[in-house]
Chains A and B, each alone.
Chain A
């Protein structure tokens, strides 16, 4: 490529439109091999937030002059979903994994939310033909932030629902597709076989190591019986040829959560 390179005209493939894109939610509160994703309706806007360090330090040393090391730690990201207000009730039931049923069950959702991960948003961006996958953005272990209705207006009421992520948001090249799988521990089983074949997501030998334990799994989480949320396993777990293997069997009634990416065209 020389300095005199001449580019062509812009291509139709540079365009991204929400009307051709799909937002799906994979719950980690339920169970499934794999968890069935739920399509989210009525979305008007997806606003991803950048991964932002909560602590930043610039370190100098004696004799180093102006040369410094910039240290960033404790990253937070997230996204906001703007949707039609009338869909909010259905949406909250989906992401909180509850069913409102005044006749036989519970009737209300307190608008004060616990700060536990709920699942994954997978935003699938597609081309104008509504079929061709361009890329996806994945927001992992989203935590619902406090919010309420923006307003009930005379017409076209909208609501913005904010989420925080404590782990890296990921851009996935097509045809990568998210799968979230759950298993039940029995106190003796150490090997759990995945129902599909993961593909590499990151290279943990490289710069992506901090938030990633595996090249080909987003994480392996274990939620003890009665616990509010899962813990990401940083040791004692290996992955190979479709099997997640624990050095020590997860306890009885614990829940194992394994999210990963598959080649969506190979399914």
Chain B
């Protein structure tokens, strides 16, 4: 990750991991039925969801880690909201809970740090990346918290909070 673009790049790391899970899902595997997006959905997705949407918000980095003699920081107690967003055409709360459950299982598994996925940062694509190589260590995941009826067409958003540490490698 690039230190100067840290907030963006952390968001892209989480996006790329879930995008990889979706793209590499075997036939009939749940991840293959979903879509992922960075930040708030665009207008066309608001109008009608073609697939349930996993929406990744910007990370929050409230607390720093330093070392003796080191002015630069890593970050602890970080968190990012990952949302499972559905509407009346894509399963509403029931599907949202299924998505959230699979994401909880993904992030709770220690092997999440060794999943290899491609990532594009600053126009350059890096293959065989992992959370570990990108300097992210997952601590825990909590939720989901349901937010019903976000839009006129009765969507439901199930929000997970993923807590992690960030190291600048």
Q: Which residues of A contact B73 (CB under 8 A)?
A: 9
* A6 CA / B70 CA spacing, docked (Å): 6
| Contact of A130 with B110 in the complex, beta carbons under 8 Å | yes
A10 and B132 contact, Cβ closer than 8 Å, known pairs A5-B69, A130-B111: no
* A129→B169 CA distance, assembly (Å): 15
Q: Is the Cβ of A9 less than 8 Å from the Cβ of B69?
A: no
Task: Please state if B130 and A129 are interface contacts (CB–CB under 8 Å).
Answer: yes
- B122 is an interface residue with CB less than 8 A from chain A: no
Residue B113, interface by CB 8 Å: yes
Q: Is A207 an interface residue (CB 8 A)?
A: no
**In the complex, what's the smallest C-beta–C-beta distance from A127 to chain B, in angstroms?**
6
- Interface contacts (Cβ under 8 Å), in number, total 59
A7/B70 in contact, CB under 8 A? yes
Q: Mark B104-121, 1 if CB is under 8 A from A, else 0.
A: 000000110110000000
Known: A19-B110, A130-B110, A130-B111. A8 touches B72 (CB 8 A): yes
Given contacts A127-B132, A129-B130, whether A9 and B66 have CB atoms under 8 Å apart is yes
Nearest chain A CB to B137 CB, angstrom units = 5
Closest chain B CB from A78 CB (angstroms): 28
The answer to the question of B71 belonging to the interface, with a C-beta cut-off of 8 Å to chain A, is yes
| Interchain nearest-CB distance for B165 vs A (Å) | 8
Q: A15 interface residue, CB < 8 Å from B?
A: yes
Cα separation A225 to B152 with both chains bound (whole Å): 85
**Alpha-carbon separation in the docked complex, A136 to B68 (Å):** 26
- Expressed in whole angstroms, the minimum distance between the Cβ of B131 and any Cβ of chain A is 7
Looking at A7, A20, A128, the one whose CB has the most chain B CB atoms below 10 A away is A128
**Structural contact, A128 and B74, CB atoms closer than 8 A:** no
In the complex, A265 Cα to B62 Cα: how many Å? 40
Contacts of B69 in A (CB 8 A): 5-7
Assess whether B46 is interfacial by the CB under 8 Å rule.
Answer: no
Q: How large is the interface on A (under 10, 10 to 19, 20 to 34, 35 or more residues)?
A: 10 to 19
Are A9 and B110 within 8 A (Cβ)? no
Tell me which of B130, B133, B137, B169 contacts A15 (CB under 8 A): B137
Chain B at the A interface: SS class: mixed
Residues of A within 8 A of B133 (CB): 129
A1 shortest CB reach to chain B, Å = 10
Is residue B28 contacting chain A, with contact meaning CB distance below 8 A?
A: no
Within 8 A of B (CB), among A8-36: 8-12, 15, 19-20
Q: Which residues of B contact A9 (CB under 8 A)?
A: 65-67, 70, 72-74, 167-168
A133 to B70, CA, bound (A): 26
Query: B91 at interface (Cβ–Cβ under 8 A)?
Result: no
A198 to B74, CA, bound (A): 40
**Which residue of A has the minimal Cβ distance to B166?**
A12
In the complex the two chains form, what is the Cα distance from A6 to B72 in whole Å?
9
Bits for B138-169, please: 1 = Cβ < 8 Å to A, else 0. Answer: 00000000000000000000000000010111
B169 touches A12 (CB 8 A): yes
Query: Which B residues are CB-close (under 8 A) to A5?
Result: 69
A residues less than 8 Å from B135 (CB atoms): 12
Q: How far is the CB of B117 from chain A (nearest CB, A)?
A: 13
Q: A12-B165, A129-B130 given. 9 additional CB < 8 A pairs?
A: A5-B69, A7-B68, A7-B71, A9-B65, A9-B70, A9-B167, A10-B67, A20-B113, A128-B137
List 12 A-B pairs, Cβ < 8 Å: A6-B70, A7-B69, A8-B70, A9-B65, A9-B70, A9-B74, A9-B168, A10-B67, A128-B113, A128-B131, A128-B132, A129-B132
